[in-house]
Amino acid sequence: MTVVDSMAVPSVLIAESDPWTRDLLKHVVLSVRCDVQLDVCEEGRQAFTLLSQKTYDLVIADADLPAMGGLDLLRTVRQRRSSPVRAFILLSDRSDIASVREVLPLAPTAYLTKPLDIGGLTRRLQGLLLSAGQEVLCGVPGLAPGMTLIRFLAQHRATSDGAPLMIDAEAAVRHSIGPVGPDLALLEQQVRTDPQISAVLIAAANSAARHPVSPAQTLSQALQSLGPGRSMNLVLGLTLKQRGQLSDPCLSDYAEQQWAVSRRAAGYAYALARMLNLDHQRCYCAGLLHRLGDLAVLRCLQEWQLAGGELDTRVIDESLAEFGAAYGSALRTRWRLPLELRELIAAIYHLGGGVYSREALVMNLVGQMVKLTTEEEISELASCKTARLLRVGTPELLRLIQAPEGCV
């Protein structure tokens, strides 16, 4: 095994077609060495071009890349005499003897099967990218001269990593290991209230690289599509992202408030949709995800603060009001969440013209329910158009609002 010279900053190429696995690999690498020079691509020809232009200390490539497979890429690398790649990790869905024998003559540094063992991969990368006892620390880049918060938030909207984690994801994964291994039911029970985890798993299950027959619109459907190993990999991957949890007490308080509204909306949506014999799981998910944008703004405000920007409650309130909806819309579009789920989330805020489903009516009513504070307001809500179309009166609304949050 070759260890990169401790005086040099290593260069790494990741070639992986699935965007969520690619993102996971990227953050595993960065968690080991944050200063690494990292290039990523999604198909073999792109990787071949990059390898022709630059020498890498490590390549991590999937065996089934489109255009040119990872095995052919490895073969090409091994045949090259000048500037050879020092290390090559090949990833594959196949663990049969024939597949392994085909790879061995090309001497990969490692042949790893999916779903990945994140701990094992991390240890391998530590050996490849760090010298013994070496530790690399990376500071937060300062703000560009003249940068304002409005410009900062506008620039980061298209690249936001989403919401901070609201639960202990590592503990959730540990508690999801049953007597015979990973248990999807246990995992769902542990993570079902976290908006970021639910959104990422649903997005990953619907990734174009997976060619789903029908889109996953709930956490349960996403878990079944991904399987236990990949689901747990993705959850653990979220814990590796830098500043994925909020450290500032004020921002944490704001996040707790947004999360409480999300859980309350999810609970109302679940109970109301179930009462009306509608898709209560999908409605629950829409309620949980409707403040994803606001939470993402708070995570971005943490980046602003760490880079040297100033914050106070007035600035936080104004940022949420101006950017919360925009961040949510951008995330749901970029992550390609199913259109039906996005429409339910949008219905919480507004019902457009034309014909809308009963689930959309439920979500619109839920959006109004989470704002209620008095019994008088509940009676007024029972007389609104949405409640009348659903035939939901004051007694039903009172019962829903007074039910404990943990009843769903």
CB 209 within 8 A of CB 227: no
Cα 120 from chain centre: 22
Q: What is the C-alpha separation between 249 and 251, in angstroms, rounded?
A: 6
Q: Are both 125 and 19 inside the same structural domain?
A: yes
| Residues 255, 235 within the same domain | no
Other CB atoms within 10 A of residue 333 CB: 11
pLDDT for the residue numbered 345:
97
Residue 85's pLDDT is 66
Q: 217 φ, ψ to 5°?
A: -120, 0
Residue 181 falls inside a structural domain: yes
- From residue 92, alpha-carbon distances to 11, 60, 61, 255, 351 in Å are 22, 11, 9, 39, 46
In a domain, 184, yes or no: yes
Strands 11-15, 87-92: pairing kind: unpaired
Judgement on whether residues 25 and 105 belong to the same structural domain of the protein? yes
> Between the CA atoms of 104, 107, 113 and 117, what dihedral angle is there, to the nearest 10 degrees?
140
152 domain-assigned: no
* Neighbouring residues of 160: CB distance < 8 A, sequence distance ≥ 6: 296, 299, 300, 327, 330, 331
Question: Do 330 and 281 share a domain, yes or no?
Answer: yes
* One domain, residues 55 and 121: yes
Per DSSP, 314 falls in state H
Question: Does some domain include residue 154?
Answer: no
Domain-embedded: residue 66:
yes
Distance in angstroms (rounded) separating the CA atoms of residues 88 and 71? 10
Residues 285 and 384 in one domain: yes
Quote the tokens at residue 321: 């009001």
Q: Distances in Å between the alpha carbon of 79 and those of 41, 86, 104, 105, 128?
A: 22, 13, 15, 12, 22
Are residues 194 and 275 in contact, defined by beta-carbon separation less than 8 angstroms?
A: no
The sign of the dihedral angle between the CA atoms of 56, 58, 60, 64 is positive
Q: What is Dmax (Cα atoms) for the chain? A: 80
Question: For residue 107, what pLDDT is reported?
Answer: 87
Residue 363 in contact with residue 283, Cβ under 8 Å? yes
| Count of the separate structural domains present in the chain | 3
- Encoded amino acid at 152, one letter: F
Q: Which residues does residue 89 pair with via DSSP β-bridges, in sequence order?
A: 60, 110
Do 66 and 211 lie in one domain? The reply is no
Residue 212: asked if its preceding bond is cis (omega within 30°), the reply is no
- Rounded to 5 degrees, φ, ψ at 153 are -65, -40
Element (H, E) at 265: helix 249-275
CATH number of the domain at 115, please: 3.40.50.2300
pTM: 0.89
Residue 150 in any domain: the answer is no
- Whether the Cβ atoms of residue 304 and residue 323 lie closer than 8 Å to each other: no
Torsion (CA) 388, 390, 395, 400 in degrees, nearest 10:
-130
Neighbour tally for 120: CB within 10 Å: 11
Q: Which residues of 233-253 are buried (b: 16+ CB within 10 A; e: fewer)?
A: bbbbbbbbbeebbbeeeebbe
Q: Return the pLDDT at 152.
A: 97
In this structure, the answer to whether residues 188 and 216 fall within a common structural domain is yes
CB 91 within 8 A of CB 16: yes
Specify whether 63 is located in the same domain as 78.
yes
Q: Name the residue among 396, 363, 377 with its Cα closest to residue 265.
A: 363
Q: Does the residue 140 lie in any domain?
A: no
Check which CATH number belongs to the domain holding 272 and give it: 1.10.3210
Tell me: do 185 and 284 sit in the same domain.
no
Low-confidence ranges of the chain (pLDDT < 70): 1-7, 81-85, 208-212, 404-408
pLDDT at 1: 36
- Last-in-domain residue among 212, 229, 245: 245
Residues 326 and 387 placed together within one structural domain of the fold: yes
Q: What angle do CA 275, 279, 284 make, to 5 degrees?
A: 85
- CA pair distance 299, 322, nearest whole angstrom: 15
Question: How many Å separate Cα 262 from the centre of its chain?
Answer: 17
Among candidate residues 245, 263, 297, the one where a domain is terminated: 245
Q: Domain limits at 397?
A: 249-408
Q: What is the pLDDT at residue 32? A: 93
Q: Are 400 and 258 in a shared domain?
A: yes
Residues forming a β-bridge with 61 = 15, 90
pLDDT at res. 27: 93
Question: Which pair of structure tokens corresponds to residue 188?
Answer: 């769902």
Which helix (H) or strand (E) covers residue 58, if one does? strand 58-62
DSSP-assigned letters across all residues of 231-250 = HHHHHHHHHHSTT-S--SHH
In a domain, 136, yes or no: no
